C-alpha cells in the first residue's frame, strides 16, 4: 500500500530545514571553525565599504633598505 504524506507543505519545509540544521560538524582547530562561520556569514555592505576605504587610505610600504642601497 502507498503511504500517504500527512504533512502540510509548510510542515514539510520545516522538517527538511530541521534535518539539515541538525547535521553536526567537527573542527580540528578553532581557526577552521572561524573560517567556516565566516564563509556562512555575509559581510554587511556598510562594513565592507568602510574596510575597503580604510585599506585604500593605508600608506604604501616604503622600499626596503637593500633596494634603496642597490638602486632597485
pLDDT in tens, 23-42: 788 999 999 999 999 999 99
Say which DSSP state 22 is in.
T
CA angle 28, 21, 29 (to 5 degrees): 10
Residue 63 parent element (H or E): none
| pLDDT given at position 22 | 60
User: Which cell is 14 given?
Assistant: 520545516
Sequential pLDDT tens for the chain (72 residues): 455 567 677 777 777 766 666 678 899 999 999 999 999 999 899 999 999 999 999 988 888 888 888 876
CA 17 – CA 12 distance, rounded (Å)? 9
| pLDDT given at position 71 | 79
CA angle 54, 35, 19 (to 5 degrees): 130
Amino acid at each position: 500500500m502507498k503511504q500517504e504524506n500527512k504533512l502540510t507543505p509548510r510542515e514539510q519545509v520545516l522538517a527538511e530545514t530541521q534535518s539539515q540544521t541538525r547535521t553536526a560538524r567537527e573542527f580540528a582547530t578553532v581557526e577552521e571553525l572561524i573560517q567556516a562561520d565566516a564563509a556562512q556569514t555575509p559581510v554587511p555592505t556598510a562594513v565592507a565599504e568602510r574596510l575597503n576605504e580604510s585599506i585604500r587610505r593605508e600608506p604604501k610600504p616604503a622600499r626596503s633598505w637593500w633596494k634603496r642601497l642597490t638602486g632597485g
